[in-house]
Amino acid sequence: MKKDQLNELLYQALETELGGVEIYTTALRCVVNDDLKEEWQEYLEQTKNHVQIVQDTMEQLGLDTEAETPGRLVVRHIGESLVKAMEMALESGVKGAAQLVASEAVTLAETKDHLNWHLIGEAAKKAIGDIAKALKAAHDEVEDEEDEHLYHTTGWTRVLWIESMGLPAVLPPPEEVKDVKTAIGAARAEQARAQML
């Protein structure tokens, strides 16, 4: 395994989690639905914990968590852009619209976050010694939460859009009701809902 690129992944993972804290904080200013608000409050706390977990893991690997990499700057730029997008929607004054923008922003951010952790899991399988141990411990602690963040928020974005168009919508989304934690589970939940309508 190329160690430099594993390190790059960890820098990007840290920046994604740091951006996630800002994104959830801003998304909570946009949210209207009470169930979604409760969910994002929980995910914000979990994301703060993920920041700590990545920092601890990087320190175990001897990495300077403050160091900048070009890839990390790109991740930061995207995170800041998502925050800006939500602020633009808030300024428009249409509350439901800002919630939709926020839900899409969270989904985009969690897509990258989910990918990072999947790759950390893959690296943990191939790494050896203390590096393997550190990566695996972090991955085990975070993986289930990341699955939930991505699949549940994707479901919310879809049903909020459906509702906004005046179409029959089931809230909260089936991904949440069925506590989906896999891509296959998300597809099944959506299919079951479509058959109900």
**Over the range 21-46, which residues count as b (16 or more CB within 10 Å of their CB) and which as e?**
bbbbebbeebbebeebeebbeebbeb
113 counts as binding Fe ion under rule CB under 5 A: yes
Nearer to Fe ion, 147 or 190 (CB): 147
Cα distance between the two ends of the chain: 49
CA-nearest of 59, 61, 20, 65 to 43 is 20
Nearer to Fe ion, 90 or 124 (CB): 124
147 counts as binding Fe ion under rule CB under 5 A: no
- Closest chain position to Fe ion (CB): 50
The one segment of 6-14, 53-61, 75-83, 107-115 that binds Fe ion by CB under 5 A: 107-115
Structure tokens given for 106: 């969270």
Report cis status (omega within 30 of 0) of the bond before 173.
no
Residues 116-135, interacting with Fe ion (CB under 5 A): none
50 counts as binding Fe ion under rule CB under 5 A: yes
Nearer to Fe ion, 19 or 174 (CB): 19
The one segment of 47-55, 67-75, 76-84, 120-128 that binds Fe ion by CB under 5 A: 47-55
Nearer to Fe ion, 137 or 162 (CB): 137
Structure tokens given for 165: 């168009």
Contact between 19 and 109 (Cβ < 8 Å): yes
Nearer to Fe ion, 15 or 113 (CB): 113
Binding site for Fe ion (CB under 5 A): 47, 50, 113
